[in-house]
Structure 1
């Protein structure tokens, strides 16, 4: 794929990031969406670090959507804290959160961007734990359009990468698959909860 097409894919991915996040943030202010603070702290931290690791692994303009997403995810974590969005923090949520935070220092000790991305991808996927647990119990409190757009964003971020390697592919591919899983699970739970 030539560089102008990769730039277009990166632009589409960044646009989809904002198209997903703006309504999601509005729904937080309207109290229709109640993000889990632990998930968003993890996602903001790991996504920002993966952005720098992807740049080091020569991901180029394909890394830009990940950087934008990291910044906005940190903002959503702040909103979740300010609005006290989720009061249903469980012991299992603490396990996911502390496991994710405990894993973060490992990326620092690896001078190789691949190992940093592997560790951070695992940590980021752990961040889905509290959201999946909450969405299972309260499927109508999650915004499915957001996760659908986010999955599409990751597809375009993958297409925009200037260098394809495990270090550049692993994170957006894994997050895209996790979004797909969450969408399927929430859709299923909404039908079940609706009929109960």
Structure 2
């Protein structure tokens, strides 16, 4: 079981590294709001998991959060990775953060899951719009890697 968890984490790391390099070189221009929210939610989940005694199973969730935080950080400090955000970006980011707060505040696991999914989807919307309108600013390779990484967690 540990092998599959580690394999998923390595796959996630390799694809995130590819996207990071593309961002550093200015070949992709990440939407900061999307990547920040995609990083925050899994890191909150990781902290919650670790506080309940979960160990190895937290690794894929941690990787799902740390990669986006690295992408967000590079996007903030690398002028070549700059993407101007508009009104829809901020609205989706704000509502996504509200969903995260509500997720944290709820004591109902089903509601928390629903709100976490809503937050993730709302965070993705600005990047989907940007990728559709300006495909040269994105790299589908990372998203393909995320799919493989997520699938590696299922027996």
1:30 corresponds, among 25, 30, 36, to: 25
State the shift of 1:53 in Å.
Answer: 4.5
- The 5 A counterparts of 1:10-159 are 10-53=5-48, 61-84=56-79, 85-159=81-155
- Larger gyration radius, structure 1 or structure 2: 1
CA distance, structure 2, for counterparts of residue 150 and residue 23 of structure 1: 12
SS in 2 for 1:158: coil
Unaligned stretches of 5+ residues in structure 2:
none
Unmatched segments (≥5 aa) in structure 1: 1-5, 160-196
TM-score if structure 1 supplies the norm length?
0.70
Conserved? CA contact 1:62–1:157, under 8 Å: no
